[in-house]
Amino acid sequence: MSRCQGPSASGRQRKDAQESMFFSRLVSSLLGALVLYAWPTVLAIHADDPEAGTAVSASTAQATDVVASDFKFEPRTFTMSAGSAGFSIRNDGVVEHDFVILDAQRQRLAGTEPLAPGTSGVFETTLPPGTYAITCTLPGHREVGMTAELTVTP
């Protein structure tokens, strides 16, 4: 009389490998969701606050502080007068971000290079009246909502 001993050793190894791959993918997915949706951020918004101070050069540019985090900008909408404008961007996220102002044809007008987590970037530009889209141009960031809108008044 022969006795059934269950799956062979190679069958068990294959099953163990499949389970390991499943759990690895599950953990990766959960970590991705955590970064995208649940990462706590500290926002510091000082738009148009002369007491806040900015890293913009001492010109006549209007200074706006912006915080980039995973995956949004604060403020999400803002208004300024036409002319010289300075932006100080701080990356409070855990991944790189940039801040790019786009014209109506979605062409880059001005912005930062990618900023590493915990770093800042500053730039100055001249903007005519209009409405401008702002986005993070790193792959996938715009698609998950890392956008803002800038209205420039006459």
In this structure, of 13-17, 52-56, 98-102, 135-139, the range with the lowest mean pLDDT score is 52-56
Residue 139 maps to a domain: yes
Q: Is the full-model pTM beyond 0.85? A: no
Peptide bond into 78 cis (omega under 30): no
Summarize pLDDT for 27-36 with one digit per residue, the tens. Answer: 444 444 334 3
Residue 12 maps to a domain: yes
CATH of the domain at 79: 2.60.40.420
Domain count, the chain: 2
Residue 52 maps to a domain: no
Could you tell me the CA-to-CA distances from 38 to 33, 34, 41, 71 in Å, in that order?
A: 7, 5, 9, 10
Single-letter code of the amino acid located at 120: S
> Whole domain around residue 11: which residue ranges?
7-38
Asked if 71 contacts 141 with a C-beta cutoff of 8 angstroms, the reply is yes
- The pLDDT of residue 30: 41
| Same domain, residue pair 108 and 144 | yes
| Same domain, residue pair 76 and 121 | yes
Residue 130 maps to a domain: yes
| Same domain, residue pair 32 and 102 | no
| Same domain, residue pair 25 and 76 | no
Mean pLDDT score, 88-111:
95
